[in-house]
Amino acid sequence: MLLRGTEALTAAAREGTAIPGFVAYNLETVQGIVAAAETSGRPILLQAGASAFRHTGRTALMNLALDAARRSTAALGVHLDHSRDLDEVAACVDAGYTSVMVDGSHLPFAENVALTREAVRRAHDAGVWVEAELGALAGDEDVSTGATAAGGSMTDPEQAAEFTAATGVDALAVAVGNVHGFTADPVRLDLDRLERIHALVPVPLVLHGASGLPGEQLLGAVRRGVAKVNVNAELRRAYLAAVAGALPEALPGADTVAVWTAGRDAVAATALRITETLAPGATPS
């Protein structure tokens, strides 16, 4: 069933847990994420777009994700991730997405405010909640390795409070040392900065680039107001490793189903593990 509204997000913030946002690129990753939601009994956001649209086409992936969520017994939101295009935001809102992220983090502050405010207006008119980003993460959201912490910019706590008030956004993604993709050196989050942001910002916080973060860092962020955690690279790595492992036996008979099944099962197992990590001691809904 579709998870609409911000109630699950605000409940997670109140409980000291977090909802995972898992990025999907194709049928098998969608199915794996849905399976994790059904097994865990926890709410999950199925993130379809915007970069994945370049592979599947927007309509195909939108329809796939929405149909899977509607047919599932689990509470699944369908979320547009990292969109810089208001027309794309409007298309996903019209299609039935439950939330969207407008990413103006590459823009000067005033332009980010203007872009986000317009996305909020369009989405709220349809009952869809909005995530935005302030600060910039290093790394590439679609490439798993080779990232470094250099090139990002940290979120300023006072500016975050100003941004939230000026835009009416429902959730705010922040940069506190987190990086898209896996890094050669361990990532250390600036948890003190995150705590200051949490004290000043009245909406749930979002952590992007969570793949590979040590458990104590991840849970430290959750305890400081992070109610949504994005995971992409970790699912991709699990999927590709499973496919690579299944290929030697599958190739002689051209058993594509065995390969796709291995990838789907690996995504489901990884997503389930992360979902449970983000909700320690929580009672399944």
| Per-residue confidence (pLDDT) for residue 213, from 0 to 100 | 82
Could you say which of 3.20.20.70, 3.40.718.10, 3.30.1490.190, 3.50.30.30 is the CATH number of the domain covering 7-277? 3.20.20.70
pLDDT per position as a tens digit, 108-143: 999 999 999 999 999 999 999 999 999 876 544 444
Of all helices (H) and strands (E), which one includes residue 267? helix 256-277
**81 counts as catalytic:** yes
| Per-residue confidence (pLDDT) for residue 185, from 0 to 100 | 60
Instruction: Classify residue 105 as left (phi > 0), alpha (psi -120 to 50) or beta.
Output: alpha
Largest CA distance in the chain: 60
Of all helices (H) and strands (E), which one includes residue 58? helix 58-71
| Per-residue confidence (pLDDT) for residue 49, from 0 to 100 | 87
pLDDT per position as a tens digit, 156-182: 999 999 999 999 999 999 999 887 554
| Per-residue confidence (pLDDT) for residue 145, from 0 to 100 | 44
Distance separating alpha carbons of residues 87 and 110, to the nearest angstrom: 20
Beta bridge partners of 78: 46
Of all helices (H) and strands (E), which one includes residue 21? strand 19-23
Which one of 81, 103, 156, 265 is the catalytic residue? 81
pLDDT per position as a tens digit, 221-265: 999 999 999 999 899 999 999 999 999 999 999 999 999 999 999
